[in-house]
Structure 1
Amino acid sequence: MVSIYDIKPKFQQLLLPILHWLHRSNITANQITLVAIVLSVVIGVAFWYAESYSWLFLALPVGLFFRMALNALDGMMARTYNQQSTLGEVLNEVGDIISDWVIFFPLLKFFPEQLYLVVVFLCLSILSEFAGLLGKVIAYERRYDGPMGKSDRAFVIGACGLALFLGWPIATYGVWIFLIINILLIISIFFRLKRALAKAG
C-alpha cells in the first residue's frame, strides 16, 4: 500500500551533498543516530510545554522533518562508507522506539478524551516496528511496509502539531484521527508479517 516511505530514494538523493559533507567532517553513522535521539527528546519536551507557549507546537512538523532526515542519513552513512555495525543497528532500532514514545507521549495531554485510543496508538507503533524487525529475523529483510510506517506517523503527528499551532479545534476530531491511524497501523503490521512470511517461505 502507499506509504511516504516510497519516496525515500528521492529524499535520499536530495541529502547526498549533506551526507558527503558530514563524512568529510568525520561524522559517523552512530553519531548521527545519537543526534536524532537527542533531537527527539527536545521535540517531546517542547511538545509537552506547548500548552503554555503555542509556538512550541511547531517543534512537531519542523523537528520531525529533521529527525526523518537524520534517520535517512545514518543509514546512508553506514551503507555508503562501510560503517555498518551491530551497535549501530541496536542504536537505530532501540533509538527509534524510544524517540517515538518521547515524541508521542504528550498526545495523552492534548487528546485527553481519546486517552485509550492514544495508548493503543503508542502500543501499535511499537508492535509495528517489532513486526518490521521480525522480517529480518525470519527472512533476513527488515520490513518497512505501510500504510502507517514510521515516516507516515511522523507526517500525521507533524500535521497535528501544525494544526494545534494554528489554533484549529483538532481535538474535536481526535476520535476519528486516532481510530483511522490505529486501523492503518494494524494493516501495516499485517502486511509486514505477511510479506516476511512469504519471503521466508
Structure 2
Amino acid sequence: MTPLPAKAARKWQGLYALKPWYTRRLTPVVNVAVRWNISPDVFTVAGVLAAGVAGATVALGWWPLTALFLALRLAGANLDGAVARARGVSRPWGFVVNEIGDRASDLLTFAGLAVWAARQRGPGLHWLSWPVIMVLIAALAATLPTFASLAGAAAGAPRRNGGPLGKTERCLFVFLATAFPVILPVVATQLVNGSLITTVLRLRAAHRELAAKRQDGPAAQGTQELAVLAS
C-alpha cells in the first residue's frame, strides 16, 4: 500500500515573512560590501552596537531614536548573512557569530526596557516594581524560542526562524512599550505568551521533521539494498 503523503506543515512566520522584501531594500549596501570586500562580521558587530544604542534610547524613553536604532539592529542582523552569501564566504563559524550577536542584541534591548520599566513608578529607579519583574520574565521567555530552534538544529532538524513572535516582533514590542509606557505590562504579557507559543510551534515542527527523517532512513537503506541485489 502506498503511504499517504504527509500533511504540509503550516508556516507561522510572522513578520519574518517580510525578510526577502527587506533584504531587497538592502541590496545597495550588499553591493557596496561585495565591492569593498567588507566582512559579514562587520555587520554583525554593527547590529549589536545598534542594539546597545537602542537599549539606551529605550531606557531614556526616546522612542523616535528607538525606532531608528532597532531598525539598524535588524538591518545588521540581515546584512551579515546576505553579505556572506553574496561574497561566497559563508562558513559554519558565521552561524555561531550570528547567534551570539542576536542574543547579545536581545539582552541589550531588554536591559534598556527594564530600566524604562523601573522609571515608571515616579522619580528614581524602582527595581522591585511589578513592571520590572514582568520585563525580566518576558526577557527570559524570549530566549525559549531560540533554545528550541538550536536544540532542534543540533538534533538534525532545520534551524527555524520567524514567528508568531520572533526577533522582529520582539523589536516591535520593545518600541511600543517605549512609545506608550502605559501599555508596558500588556506588552510584557504578550511577549511571554508569544514566546511560549512560538517555542511550542518550533518544537512541534522539529519533532515532525526529525520523525520524518527517522522514517525515511530505513526506507532509503532498503532501496539501496534492493538496488545492490538487482545489480
Identity %, equivalent residues: 25
Contact 2:14 2:165 in 1 (8 A): yes
Contact 1:145 1:192 in 2 (8 A): no
Residue from 122, 125, 134 that aligns with 2:151 = 134
Residue from 102, 110, 116 that aligns with 1:96 = 102
Q: Is structure 2 residue 193 aligned with structure 1 residue 187?
A: no
Contact 1:139 1:197 in 2 (8 A): no
Contact 1:61 1:159 in 2 (8 A): no
Contact 2:177 2:183 in 1 (8 A): no
Residue from 149, 164, 176 that aligns with 2:166 = 149
Q: Is structure 2 residue 176 aligned with structure 1 residue 159?
A: yes
Aligned partners of 1:29 and 1:158: how far apart in 2?
27
Contact 2:55 2:109 in 1 (8 A): yes
Alignment of 1:14-163 (within 5 A): 14-48=25-59, 50=60, 56-112=62-118, 113-161=130-178, 163=179
| Residue identity in the other structure for 1:172 | V
Taking structure 2 as the reference length, the TM-score comes to 0.75
Taking structure 1 as the reference length, the TM-score comes to 0.86
Q: Which one has a bigger Cα radius of gyration? A: 2
1:88 to 1:147, Cα distance in 2 relative to 1, 3 A: same
1:129 is displaced (CA, Å) by 1.4
Q: Structure 1: state its 5+ residue gaps.
A: 164-169
Aligned partners of 1:110 and 1:104: how far apart in 2?
10
SS at 1:111 equivalent: helix
Q: Where in structure 1 do 4 or more consecutive aligned residues deviate above 3 Å? A: none
1:34 is displaced (CA, Å) by 1.4
RCO comparison, higher one (Cα < 8 Å, 6+): 1
Aligned partners of 2:96 and 2:104: how far apart in 1?
12
Aligned partners of 2:157 and 2:205: how far apart in 1?
12
Q: Structure 2: state its 5+ residue gaps.
A: 1-11, 119-129, 212-231
1:2 is displaced (CA, Å) by 5.2
SS at 2:160 equivalent: coil
Residue number in structure 2 paired with 1:166: none
